[in-house]
Amino acid sequence: MIALVVFASSCFHAPLIAKTNVAGVISGDATWSSENSPYIVTQNVEVANRTTLTIEPGVEVRFARFSLIVRGRIVARGNGDLPIRFTSNEETPNPGDWLFLQLMPESAPAKFGERGTFVGGCVFEHCIIEYGAGLNLVGASPWIARCTIQHNYSEEGGAIFSGGGSPVIQQNKIAYNRCNRDGGGIRTANGHAKILENEIVYNTARGRGGGIATNYSPITIRGNTIAHNWAHTGGGIATGAPRLGETSMTGKSHSKPLIEDNVITHNMARAIGGGISVRGTPKIAGNQVSFNRIAYTGAARRNHRASRMDSTDRRKFTGAGIYVEGTYGGPAEITRNTIIANRGAKWGGGVFTDRASLVFTDNYVAKNQSVEFGGGLSIVNRRSSRSFVSDGHGPSIIVSGTVFRENDGGDIEVSGVGGQSITIRQCNLYSADGLSVLNHCVTPIDAKEAWWGSDSPSTDSRIYDGSDDQSLGRVIHSGQPSPYSLERAPKTSDATLVRMTARPTEFRSAQGIFQVQGAPPSISAVWKGIDGDGVAGYRLHIAEVIPTYHERIVVETDKGYSPIDCGMALAAKIGGLKPKTQYEISVWAYDAEGSESLSTDPMLVTTKPN
């Protein structure tokens, strides 16, 4: 039986405020009303099987170091004016102050009508969930909609962990959450989660998936904005991320994630997959993958023979936009994506694939950058890979219907591939540095149906292959006289491409950023803006750098959390920082619609002692 203690407190000239302490088991249907709010959870509260807890709009539930555990049904439906808040009971709250909103396998699954309307089961709608360990779904299938889930910390799944079940996670804002392992925003393991139309931003994972991480189970990720997240692997999304006790082979046969119609932008990975890192057989379709980066700081060599040797050991710093490793039961399908201005990878600025059968069709790949080769697309068979073993007869690698434009490091690089046919079909190829296709393997590449760009003096000058090194396969081409009309590929005009990839220039002054000593310290930043019309303002991002993990954690400053809106100013002073601490700062522009530009290269600065 639940223990309820209702008491009131007041002070002079203040209205009477009721408080309700709650603890124990709710064994009969109950309602938490706004009249008795806030509710203070002083011990674990458990909603028994076949019991419903209804929480009214405007209720605030404050937790000490405990959980709300649901074995029956919870109906927490606020509204836009009166959200329900689940928060810490501390005067100065911090992520992880309390434990979970935990739904067990026997909890009532969400049910939907023929038109997708919610008709019953567990639901969290218009809720604010903050300063705890987030939602912990143990084989549960609730509907989580139009909630703000922020400032939470957990071992896995900073905001939401789903182990089995089929939850629908829809139209939420999931921001400023952290985890020690995988899934800074959302972590799924097994089950069939649907992650739809959410804003997933500024989350951090020390392992995989700054925004979203999943193991080898099917998952649908559709219509989301996934931005400004950080992880070691898969800054925005990581699929095929095994849990403790799983091997990298577990569940390989049914790992078929659908990643569709998302905006995946401004994410960062320490090592692999700045925007997306995928293990399995994905369909990646209709996404905008832009401005993501890998944190590689080495110098470029651009040595063909050395690059060919390195194909056996490309374990890090690959795939600034998309990274795909090892496919089973069919090829990886990457289609109808706009892949623009991803950077910082050593190989594969736009896309990097390793030991994968591949169908790469109807994409627009432009202005991506790699430090070595494969600015647009790098296709590799890394022989030292131990994560996946090829099925031995991967049927083909097909690149078709795609525009490659001004990719630094070449449009397409192939290395270490053997036993597979490689075809470039009806593609329009350009390159910022003259080379379009680089064949660093013994297998010939069929590129008879490719247009090589009217500004090239000859097709051969756009190719590196067996004519340059007799140990390599040839790129077989013909003289396609005009560009292909690629109706299925996304369209991006020259003006739009220039606007999207313009960025504020590097921070000015000899030191770049001025350090200002104070108590607490502050930092002054100065930058040069973008020339021309269309800029509505600038935003500054600041994150604390944890050197042990190279982790970036968004921190609160005297101007709030990132991003800090600077308007049209070209300088900002940020206070409320810690002494003797390293921070990373970058700036980008935005237009009247809120679209963001490419950011400055990040600047690292260490504050002085008080």
The mean predicted confidence, pLDDT, of the chain is: 86
How far apart CA 518 and CA 577 sit, in angstroms, is 10
**405 contacts 384 by C-beta, under 8 angstroms:** no
DSSP 232-264: EE-SSEEES-PPTT--TTTTGGG---EEES-EE
Query: What pairs with residue 582 in β-bridges?
Result: 606
Looking at residue 523, its pLDDT comes to: 86
The gap from C-alpha 116 to its chain's centroid, in whole angstroms, comes to 27
Per-residue three-class SS string for 46-75: EECCCCEEEECCCCEEEECCCCEEECCEEE
Looking at residue 386, its pLDDT comes to: 32
**533 contacts 526 by C-beta, under 8 angstroms:** no
pLDDT digits (tens, 9 = 90+) for 127-182: 999 999 999 999 999 999 999 999 999 999 999 999 999 999 999 999 999 999 99
pLDDT digits (tens, 9 = 90+) for 197-212: 999 999 999 999 999 9
How far apart CA 240 and CA 101 sit, in angstroms, is 26
In CATH terms, 502-606 corresponds, of 2.50.20.10, 2.60.40.10, 3.40.190.10, 2.40.50.140, to 2.60.40.10
pLDDT digits (tens, 9 = 90+) for 409-426: 999 999 877 767 889 999
Looking at residue 329, its pLDDT comes to: 66
pLDDT digits (tens, 9 = 90+) for 575-587: 998 888 999 999 9
Burial letters for 379-399: b for 16+ Cβ neighbours within 10 Å, e otherwise? bbbbeebebbebeeebeebbb
In this structure, what token pair is assigned to residue 380? 């590799």
Tell me what the mean pLDDT of segment 522-534 comes to.
85
Burial letters for 143-172: b for 16+ Cβ neighbours within 10 Å, e otherwise? bbbbbbbbbbbbebbbbbbbbbbbbbbbeb
pLDDT digits (tens, 9 = 90+) for 43-80: 999 999 999 999 999 999 999 999 999 999 999 999 99
Looking at residue 9, its pLDDT comes to: 38
pLDDT exceeds 70 at position 593: yes
Looking at residue 3, its pLDDT comes to: 53
CB atoms within 10 A of CB 287: 31
In this structure, what token pair is assigned to residue 323? 């990274």
Using pLDDT thresholds of 50, 70 and 90, give the confidence band for residue 332: confident
301 or 264, greater pLDDT: 264
Per mean pLDDT, which range of 132-141, 252-261, 266-275, 599-608 is the poorest? 252-261
328 or 598, greater pLDDT: 598
**354 contacts 280 by C-beta, under 8 angstroms:** no
pLDDT exceeds 80 at position 554: yes
pLDDT digits (tens, 9 = 90+) for 277-295: 998 889 999 999 999 999 8
Looking at residue 35, its pLDDT comes to: 95
Query: Reduced to 3 states, what is the DSSP secondary structure of residue 126?
Result: coil
Q: Give the Å distances, CA to CA, from 164 to 117, 124, 382.
A: 23, 18, 33
- Non-local (6+) Cβ contacts of 524 within 8 A are 513, 514, 515, 516, 571, 572, 573, 574
How far apart CA 32 and CA 68 sit, in angstroms, is 13
pLDDT digits (tens, 9 = 90+) for 479-512: 777 888 888 899 887 777 777 778 787 665 434 4
The owner of tokens 């935005």 is 590
Query: What pairs with residue 363 in β-bridges?
Result: none
Looking at residue 339, its pLDDT comes to: 98
Looking at residue 66, its pLDDT comes to: 97
265 or 1, greater pLDDT: 265
Q: Tell me if the bond preceding 15 is cis, omega within 30° of 0.
A: no
Looking at residue 513, its pLDDT comes to: 46
CB atoms within 10 A of CB 337: 32
266 or 301, greater pLDDT: 266
Looking at residue 393, its pLDDT comes to: 38
